[in-house]
Structure 1
Amino acid sequence: MNADWIQLETPDSPSPRANTAITYDEVLRNVVLFGGFSASHGGHSDTWKFDGANWTEVHPIQRPTERATNNLRWCPCREQLVVVTGVKFSPTGGHHPITGQRVWSEHNLGDTWIFDGENWQELRQSQYPNYVHQASATDFQSGRVIVFGGIVAGPKTVIGVFVPRDRRESPLVDDTWIFDGGVWRQLHLVTRPTHRQFAAMSSHPGERGVLLFGGHGGEGKPHLLDDTWIFDGENWQELHPSTSPSPREEACMTYDSMNGQVVLFGGRGDSEYLGDTWVLVLDE
């Protein structure tokens, strides 16, 4: 199979950044991008749409505060997009003595916002998954957004980039939350993945629920994980494939509907960034 990346020259586009939320709007049929972080600017709070050829900035009356997050998901129950919390960076006024980069403090925001294609609306609730670095995906079978794991919020000083938090600073969690378009609900399950952050999670439309792989955590001293789990909307079940990707965190994973398989790429291993590609096919 031959493949080529094509760089698009667009008249307008979001400014350079990383740790940006992006997903596909199933109703409006376009890609939506929100926020992100750059070492020179800090957090962003702008919203953009991409129609396959051009970017257009949206200027809603209200919007989430500037943040870095990858938890923007399509919620079928509501037929809108939902962004789950995020991290705000504030300048400390200092600079790194060697690199000269600005030093930022990191704070969890702990909020939920809905985007209808034109405007953002905050959902104020007493209970929600108030963590950072959690995994999330859309469960097309139940029409809900699933969130798992993460680390309890707490201030941390960083230098222009995301860094893994140590469990000695803030505890990792093994909580499962579901969002049905109206409220968050935590499930108290006996069988579930161990505590972790930076896990990969993907929907599996037409099959069953969502899949989760790896992350940084485990019981006791945190370490990189290589386990595979499936969530059917009510319960977690660990899968035991004969071959698996190596232990890793921060990998990306998505569902390939054309070929009926889940694709996992890259991530970070013990001492290096990874560039390998894996597919997972579930047998009925």
Structure 2
Amino acid sequence: MRLTGPSPARLAALGIDDRGEPRPPASSTPANGGGRRGAPRIALLVLAAGLAATAGGSVAAPLRTVAASSASSTPPASASADDWSELHPATAPLPRDSAVVAYDAASQTVVVSGGETGCGPSGREVYQDTWTWDGSQWKQVSTEAPGVFGVPNAYDPATGTVDVIWVPSCGDLVTSQWDGQTWTTTESETAPGYDQPAPYSEGAMAYDPTSKTLLLWSPGPGSVPGAASLPNDQPSTWSWDGSTWQPLSPDISPPSSIGGETRDVQMVDDAATGQMLLYGDPSQTMWTWDGTNWSQLIATGGPSPRVGASMLYDSALGEVLLFGGVAVTGYTPATATKGEAYTMGGPLNDLWAWSGGGWRQLHPATSPPARFYAQMAYDAASGQVLLFGGSVNTIADIADTWVYGPAT
């Protein structure tokens, strides 16, 4: 049975439409031309847990590409009118990385749940707590969350829940949903005749406002009626309507090699261009989903090769932002692809903006310490980007809180 989310009347009272975005006031105008907009809209962050793909699609199909409008030139780096500010709330989650993170439009808070740390009292720990951020303070709201990290997750405006897909030890794929008060976990149903998608801790997921479903891209495996199971590196694309997984069959799919580790592919709803955008680290490959097929975007310049970056759509700016990660300086061997070793550099704290026509680097006056696999989401209620924690090296996580928005 499909879970019931906030009623249309409740969403209307909150000023939220059916894609989970605040309706701008009738008289709303941009505050500063080319700067942040006066009426921020909700955007999703999907902190990726893997790679995206397509069930029944052929990776070997001829590549169809769509060039970005400024693919022949790299937009210049620009000074930013916005800036980072560190906040010091009275309490905060423990240090962690790779947690579930999403903006909950119904409660108008950012939800952070689970995650891992490599420096707990007993060594590596996976958390089972859930916290909310109201724009100024953290509040712990549950200690019974799924103990997961680096898994596909997204806010679903249709159900009013934060949805997480994962696989318990020795179990089948399940979906856990946070309704603002409790977590509910159920076995994930699939369309008749189809096997479950198998993202495990891999894949990227975001809400698709066109189909009004969650879109999942996973590296596989999967299968179709009358066909044998696909190889482990066969990508697949699925939609989730709140109760059932439906396999999609695009002719062209991003290859499973577009990402490095399981958390290095990210998907966002780029509301400014109306595209579902998939970005792979460290390949720097970008793909868009039109509801039927994937198309590769070709753009020069942009962020250097990295893994563990954080990516979201900033509704106030009308651009996709990418922050941090850890540098990839080479491969061992040089021909290595997904699943093979690559040489890591140091953590990063640079900030980039994608506007559909190309990348440009932003240069705020202040920047958080370098990190990777951080928790980052756009807080529509405050019109700011929230950044929490992440890893500063392979064994140490941090628990600082930063916001990015209009400089004060």
Structure 2 length-normalised TM: 0.52
Residue 122 of structure 1: how far off its partner (Å):
2.0
| SS, match of residue 207 in structure 2 | strand
Residue 109 of structure 1: how far off its partner (Å):
5.0
**Alignment equivalent of 1:26, drawn from 153, 157, 164:** 157
**Alignment equivalent of 1:57, drawn from 186, 192, 208:** 186
Which runs of no fewer than 5 residues in structure 1 stay unpaired?
A: 89-106, 151-171
Structure 1 length-normalised TM: 0.73
Cα distance in 1 for partners of 2:172, 2:276 equals 24
Cα distance in 1 for partners of 2:204, 2:154 equals 9
- In structure 2, relative to structure 1, the CA distance for the partners of 1:189 and 1:119 (3 Å cut) is same
**Alignment equivalent of 2:283, drawn from 173, 183, 191:** 173
Quick check: 2:190–2:246 contact (8 Å CA) kept in 1?
Answer: no
Cα distance in 1 for partners of 2:253, 2:369 equals 35
- In structure 2, relative to structure 1, the CA distance for the partners of 1:273 and 1:87 (3 Å cut) is farther
Cα distance in 2 for partners of 1:275, 1:208 equals 28
Is residue 211 from structure 1 mapped to residue 343 from structure 2 by the alignment?
no
For each residue in 1:60-113, what CA deviation from the matched residue of structure 2 results, as whole angstroms up to 9, or x when unmatched? 23431251136221112322111121577xxxxxxxxxxxxxxxxxx6552221
| SS, match of residue 356 in structure 2 | coil
| SS, match of residue 274 in structure 1 | strand
Quick check: 1:85–1:110 contact (8 Å CA) kept in 2?
Answer: yes
Quick check: 1:140–1:206 contact (8 Å CA) kept in 2?
Answer: no
**Counterpart in 2 of 1:4?**
139
Which runs of no fewer than 5 residues in structure 2 stay unpaired?
A: 1-135, 222-231, 331-342
CA RMSD between the two structures: 2.7
Q: Hey, which of these two has a bigger chunk of strand by percent? A: 1
Residue 5 of structure 1: how far off its partner (Å):
1.0
- Higher RCO (CA < 8 A, seq sep 6+): 2
Quick check: 1:136–1:145 contact (8 Å CA) kept in 2?
Answer: yes
Aligned length: 237
| SS, match of residue 139 in structure 2 | coil
- In structure 2, relative to structure 1, the CA distance for the partners of 1:267 and 1:3 (3 Å cut) is closer
Structure 1 counterpart of 2:242, one-letter code: G
Quick check: 1:189–1:235 contact (8 Å CA) kept in 2?
Answer: yes
**Alignment equivalent of 1:266, drawn from 365, 389, 393:** 389
**Alignment equivalent of 1:72, drawn from 200, 205, 208:** 205
Cα distance in 2 for partners of 1:2, 1:199 equals 25
Quick check: 1:50–1:56 contact (8 Å CA) kept in 2?
Answer: no
Structure 2 counterpart of 1:239, one-letter code: L
**Counterpart in 2 of 1:229?**
352
Quick check: 1:75–1:143 contact (8 Å CA) kept in 2?
Answer: no
Structure 2 counterpart of 1:25, one-letter code: D
Cα distance in 2 for partners of 1:211, 1:248 equals 15
- In structure 2, relative to structure 1, the CA distance for the partners of 1:43 and 1:174 (3 Å cut) is farther
Quick check: 2:237–2:247 contact (8 Å CA) kept in 1?
Answer: yes
Structure 2 counterpart of 1:7, one-letter code: S
**Alignment equivalent of 1:120, drawn from 230, 241, 245:** 245
Structure 2 counterpart of 1:274, one-letter code: I
* Rg larger for: 2
Quick check: 1:76–1:144 contact (8 Å CA) kept in 2?
Answer: no
